[in-house]
Structure 1
Amino acid sequence: MRTIMFFVGFLLAGPLPALANPELQTETLLRSTTAWDGTPYTAYPPGQPELTVLKIVVPSHTTLAWHRHPSPNAGYILSGKLIVEKKKGGVQRVLTQGQVLPELVGALHRGRTGSSPAELIVFYAGAEGVPLTQP
């Protein structure tokens, strides 16, 4: 498990000069200090850090409930199309396969799909005991 965690961390951070392998290819998919609407991330929740990774499939013609996240997270679209929107101001963004979304923290938002399902992987950087999503 430790080897896998190191490998994942290594890929996300990019190759370290001392460990660089000419056969290893990396691509930064996301590096952001702000959510998708430009709101800056200010802090992680206090407490024991906890990472959570979810694979989520949103069926076609589905609108998710309005919700918020108490900690930073990012979603990678494996397939389909997901439209995300903020409740306040109606700002929205359309995501398709291969795109990454730095999620909103503390702001009400929701996602919806069109004629096909959306499959995504979401990475949460929170704290033990803190919910991933709140109504």
Structure 2
Amino acid sequence: MMKVEVLEKSAASWNGTVYARYPGECPEITVIKISIPPDTVLPWHTHPLPSSTYVISGTMTLEDRRSGEKRVIKAGDVVLDSMNEAHRGFTGEEACVVVNTYSGAPGTPLSIPEPGEDPEFTE
């Protein structure tokens, strides 16, 4: 028999921010796999659309720029990413591999760097 397990379900992101109204356009779903080397600090960035992260391996710390709140995520964890709020992630001594899923209108960037920061990634 098939087993279904809900890994995460919420109307708010990991830092407690309630998601804004969902866009009325036809959505475009993007799923990417990101391999982050050890001792890497990602740039401060925002996501203009709903997204989630599933950790395949390793550990990463998420940090909210406004509050300074941090959350450690590890293999098997799911996190609902904050939307329109600056945050970043960083790894320690081990690499981290994640799968991110984004849902938004076609042409919407997946990640927007904060002023003076490099892009989080290139597609």
TM-score (norm 2): 0.89
Report deviation, 1:78: 0.3
Distance 1:70 1:44 in 2: 11
Runs of 4+ in 1 over 6 A off after TM superposition: none
How many percent of aligned residue pairs carry the same amino acid? 39
Structure with bigger strand share is 2
CA contact (8 A) 1:44 1:125 kept: no
Please give the per-residue CA displacement for 1:15-46, whole angstroms capped at 9, x wherever unaligned: xxxxxxxx101111011110001110112345
What does 1:60-79 correspond to in 2, within 5 Å? 60-79=38-57
Match of 1:27 in 2: 5
Q: What is the CA-CA distance between 1:51 and the residue it aligns to? A: 0.3
Which structure has more relative contact order (CA 8 Å, sep 6+)? It is 2
**Bigger Rg, structure 1 or 2:** 1
Partner of 1:103: 81
Structure with greater helix percent: 1
RMSD: 0.9
Query: 1:48 offset after TM fit, Å?
Result: 2.9
Which residue of 2 is the match for residue 36 of structure 1?
14
Structure 2 residue ranges without an equivalent (≥5):
114-123
Would the aligned equivalents of 1:82 and 1:96 in 2 still touch at CA under 8 Å? yes
Structure 2 counterpart of 1:125: 103
**1:89 CA displacement:** 1.6
Instruction: Report whether the alignment pairs 1:52 with 2:30.
Output: yes
